[in-house]
Amino acid sequence: MWRFFNSRLEEVLGAAMLAVMVTVTFINVIVRYCTTFSFAWTEEITINFFVWVVLLGTARSFREGGNLCMNLLYEALPRPLRLACYLAGLGVCLLFFAALAWTGALEVLDEIDLQATSESLEIPVWLYTVGTPALSALTLIRILQNAAETLRARKW
């Protein structure tokens, strides 16, 4: 189970969410084309799942070390400076996603406290926004996993 979590969680969840997004959007287009009726809830689902898919992709990118960097400048630096730049970038990423997880958790708590519901489906809004702190925490884990591998292999 750990091997699956460590290697394919983001891909499976992202693919499932994209499948749901495509399916509900396709159904809405067909229904709107064939009738005068429209499913308002499809936009709500699609927009909120899109945020989750982006955060899942971000976690995967950090896990694989596929995030953007300026290699030309980085490779020209002497090795000690490369390590300093790597650690500085690592610190900024950790700080950003920790802040995103924290503020996302505060938002979820506010929405639970206020009992906010969504416009079309009238379900609790926190069910959508809980993905931000949860997936930010997953991204933090992936950043640390990749950093441990990079530092262990001295690939900075």
Where in the chain are the domains?
A: 2-153
- Among candidates 55, 67, 64, which has minimal Cα distance to 92? 67
Please list the ranges in the chain whose pLDDT falls under 50.
none
CA nearest 135: which of 16, 7, 9?
A: 9
Q: Cβ(82)–Cβ(74) under 8 Å?
A: yes
For 154, which DSSP code?
T
Per-residue model confidence (pLDDT) at position 75? 87
Determine the pLDDT at residue 155. 87
**How confident is the model at residue 40, as a pLDDT?**
86
Q: Residue 114: how many CB atoms within 10 A of its CB?
A: 11
The two tokens of residue 84 are: 């300093």
Residue 146: the pLDDT is: 95
For residue 61, how many other CB atoms are within 10 A of its CB?
Answer: 16
